[in-house]
């Protein structure tokens, strides 16, 4: 019932330094290029986009274009000394600041053998900053350009109960970096990833230089949540709003990366990802497979649960055999289908994101079971079920209880 697709992870360095290497966003790329060509470059810009968008990659490509010595009308040349240094991740005029944790970076483990006791104690109390994590950061950018904070923490072995922040020492380091002269005579660019994780002391430390930076110094702040940013930082930046990826863009990207994927798997994955490319890639790497057949059987069995409980018992056994990620994927896909059912019933046909085969089922299901009165409690029931999975609840008990909830909710004001 649940066909899994397994793929080898690609060992390709995907360090995005050209606009052409970034998925979609053509209008925004044009706007950024024209700003440089017309010499209308704001010294502090906020690349704002949800997780899994192209905001970090776009900021990096923009930084490359700012110092490219032979730019074209649409992109950096990718070959000049500046582009080559950025591509090799060794450009002294491009700086990065990002959240870190007070743990020793893997690249520094084993260093400093033979230290005295005083030196060992001083080293153990050291607060590690972005520069200490640069090897890990460069690898993260190359292999996961659309990743989120959780992906970044996993890349250097951060425990799940540990948090990353941008501390006050990082703010002081920013000032000392940007006071130095440019290596190439062009722009000095600082990319600050997730400024919403700066503590107030760190933010206050950079306010003056953010508002009045040295000549030819550019701040590119890359944020996922404007609501968490300090107003003092936000008021000093020009916002560059970055949209989510469309389903078609995600499907195209996945098809190029994984040619063996079926159209149904592409559709299901893009629906679950909901514009988040990192999430789509994560689902595929976890072994995302087609879920349509199981979902149809489950929804029909839930609707008739009081007449034929045996069907739910059989599906419960199948569901319990899936791992936690597969179980959550199934519920996420069900949630996506419920939303699409509401669009089918009340919305614009142009908004429908389903294949012809799936659309036929959803039309019949939505007309009988989905309406404006039960969509919210259905959403809540599925969301709570996913929380139970995260807390290691019994899959059989959770799935059976959820099926009874669906049976009751399907009958609300139908």
Q: Are residues 395 and 321 in the same domain?
A: yes
- Dihedral, CA atoms, 146, 148, 150, 156, nearest 10 degrees? 60
The confidence band for 55, taking pLDDT boundaries of 50, 70 and 90, is: very high
Res 247: pLDDT: 83
Give me the mean pLDDT over the 83-102 stretch.
Answer: 90
Residue 219 lies in a domain: yes
Q: Is the pLDDT of residue 153 over 60?
A: yes
Q: Are residues 299 and 237 in the same domain?
A: no
Range of the domain at 400: 291-409
Residue 264 lies in a domain: no
Res 133: pLDDT: 92
**For the chain, what percent of residues have pLDDT higher than 70?**
88
Q: Are residues 29 and 160 in the same domain?
A: yes
C-alpha span between 265 and 269 (Å, rounded): 6
Where residue 243 falls (left for φ over 0; alpha for ψ -120 to 50; beta otherwise) is beta
Res 117: pLDDT: 44
The confidence band for 70, taking pLDDT boundaries of 50, 70 and 90, is: very high
Q: Are residues 71 and 176 in the same domain?
A: yes
Give me the mean pLDDT over the 365-383 stretch.
Answer: 85
Q: Give the residue from 32, 44, 41 showing the smallest Cα distance to 236.
A: 44
Q: Are residues 332 and 220 in the same domain?
A: no
Residue 190 lies in a domain: yes
- DSSP secondary structure letters along 257-302: H-TT--HHHHHHHHHHHTT-HHHHHHHHHTT--B-HHHHHHHHHHH
Q: Is the pLDDT of residue 238 over 50?
A: yes
Res 6: pLDDT: 40
Res 36: pLDDT: 93
Residue 195 lies in a domain: yes
Across the beta sheet with 217-223, what order do the strands follow?
Answer: 94-97, 188-193, 217-223, 44-48, 238-241
Q: Are residues 233 and 310 in the same domain?
A: no
Q: Are residues 32 and 105 in the same domain?
A: yes
Q: Are residues 220 and 332 in the same domain?
A: no
- Give the CATH number of the domain where residue 67 resides: 3.40.50.300
Q: Which of 58-62, 145-149, 262-266 has the lowest mean pLDDT?
A: 262-266
Q: Are residues 160 and 43 in the same domain?
A: yes
Give me the mean pLDDT over the 247-251 stretch.
Answer: 86
Q: Are residues 189 and 115 in the same domain?
A: yes
Task: Decide which of 199, 216, 241 is a domain's last residue.
Answer: 241
List pLDDT tens digits, range 93-127. Answer: 999 999 998 888 888 776 555 554 444 444 455 77
Calculate the CA 212 to chain-centre distance.
32
C-alpha span between 332 and 269 (Å, rounded): 10
**How buried is residue 108: exposed, middle or buried, by Cβ count under 10 Å (0-12/13-18/19+)?**
middle
Residue predicted with more confidence, 253 or 364: 253
The confidence band for 271, taking pLDDT boundaries of 50, 70 and 90, is: confident
Q: Which of 102-111, 146-155, 344-353, 379-388 has the lowest mean pLDDT?
A: 344-353
The confidence band for 162, taking pLDDT boundaries of 50, 70 and 90, is: confident
Q: Is the pLDDT of residue 3 over 60?
A: no
Q: Angle CA(32)–CA(93)–CA(196) in degrees, nearest 5?
A: 65
Q: Are residues 153 and 299 in the same domain?
A: no
C-alpha span between 100 and 287 (Å, rounded): 30
Query: How many CA atoms, within 13 angstroms, populate the side-chain half-sphere of residue 349?
Result: 3
Average pLDDT over the chain, rounded to an integer: 83
The confidence band for 4, taking pLDDT boundaries of 50, 70 and 90, is: very low
Residue predicted with more confidence, 137 or 328: 137
Q: Is the pLDDT of residue 157 over 50?
A: yes
The confidence band for 349, taking pLDDT boundaries of 50, 70 and 90, is: low
Task: Decide which of 207, 241, 275 is a domain's last residue.
Answer: 241
Q: Is the pLDDT of residue 163 over 80?
A: yes
- Give the CATH number of the domain where residue 354 resides: 1.20.272
Res 354: pLDDT: 65
List pLDDT tens digits, range 195-231. Answer: 999 888 888 889 989 888 898 999 999 999 999 888 8
Q: Are residues 173 and 29 in the same domain?
A: yes
Q: Give the residue from 291, 267, 293 showing the smallest Cα distance to 280.
A: 267
Res 119: pLDDT: 43
Residue predicted with more confidence, 152 or 356: 152
Residue 252 lies in a domain: no
Give me the mean pLDDT over the 179-189 stretch.
Answer: 85
Residue 206 lies in a domain: yes
Sign of CA dihedral 223, 226, 228, 231: positive
Give me the mean pLDDT over the 123-151 stretch.
Answer: 83
Task: Decide which of 223, 241, 259 is a domain's last residue.
Answer: 241
pTM (predicted TM-score): 0.75
Residue 27 lies in a domain: yes
Res 10: pLDDT: 33
Res 42: pLDDT: 92
List pLDDT tens digits, range 282-333. Answer: 777 766 556 777 888 888 888 888 888 888 988 898 888 877 877 887 888 8
Instruction: Give the count of domains, the chain.
Output: 2
Residue 57 lies in a domain: yes
């Amino acid at each position: 019932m649940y066909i899994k697709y397994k793929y080898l992870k690609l060992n390709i360095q995907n360090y995005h330094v050209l606009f052409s290497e970034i998925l979609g966003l053509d209008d925004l790329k044009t706007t950024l290029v024209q700003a440089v060509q017309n010499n209308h470059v704001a010294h502090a810009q906020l690349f704002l986009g949800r997780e899994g968008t192209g905001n970090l990659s776009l900021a990096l490509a923009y930084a490359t274009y700012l110092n490219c010595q032979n730019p074209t009308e649409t992109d950096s040349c990718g070959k000049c000394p500046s582009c080559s240094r950025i591509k090799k991740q060794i450009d002294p005029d491009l700086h990065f600041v990002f959240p870190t944790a007070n743990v020793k970076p893997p690249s520094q483990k084993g260093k400093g053998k033979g230290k005295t006791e005083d030196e060992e104690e001083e080293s153990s109390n050291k607060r590690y900053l972005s520069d200490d994590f640069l090897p890990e950061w460069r690898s993260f950018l190359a292999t996961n350009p659309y990743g989120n904070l959780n992906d970044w923490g996993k890349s250097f072995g951060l425990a799940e109960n540990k948090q990353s922040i941008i501390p006050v020492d990082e703010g002081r380091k920013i000032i000392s970096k940007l006071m130095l002269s440019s290596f190439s005579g062009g722009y000095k660019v600082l990319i600050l990833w997730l400024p919403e994780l700066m503590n107030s002391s760190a933010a206050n430390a950079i306010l003056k230089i953010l508002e009045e930076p040295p000549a030819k110094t550019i701040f590119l702040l890359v944020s996922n949540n404007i609501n968490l940013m300090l107003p003092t930082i936000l008021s000093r930046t020009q916002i560059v709003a970055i949209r989510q990826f469309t389903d078609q863009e995600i499907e195209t990207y996945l098809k190029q990366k994984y040619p063996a994927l079926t159209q149904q798997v592409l559709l299901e994955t893009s629906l679950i990802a909901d514009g988040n490319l990192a999430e789509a890639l994560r689902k595929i790497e976890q072994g995302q497979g087609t879920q349509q057949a199981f979902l149809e059987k489950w929804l029909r069995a839930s609707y008739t649960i009081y007449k034929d409980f045996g069907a739910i018992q059989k599906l419960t056994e199948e569901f319990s055999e899936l791992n936690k990620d597969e179980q959550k994927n199934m519920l996420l896909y069900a949630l996506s289908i419920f939303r699409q059912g509401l669009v089918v019933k009340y919305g614009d046909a142009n908004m429908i994101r389903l294949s012809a085969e799936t659309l036929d089922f959803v039309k019949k299901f939505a007309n009988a079971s989905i309406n404006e009165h039960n969509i919210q409690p259905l959403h809540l029931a599925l969301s709570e079920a996913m929380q139970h999975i995260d807390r290691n609840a019994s899959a059989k008990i959770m799935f059976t209880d959820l099926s009874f909830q669906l049976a009751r909710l399907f009958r609300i004001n139908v």
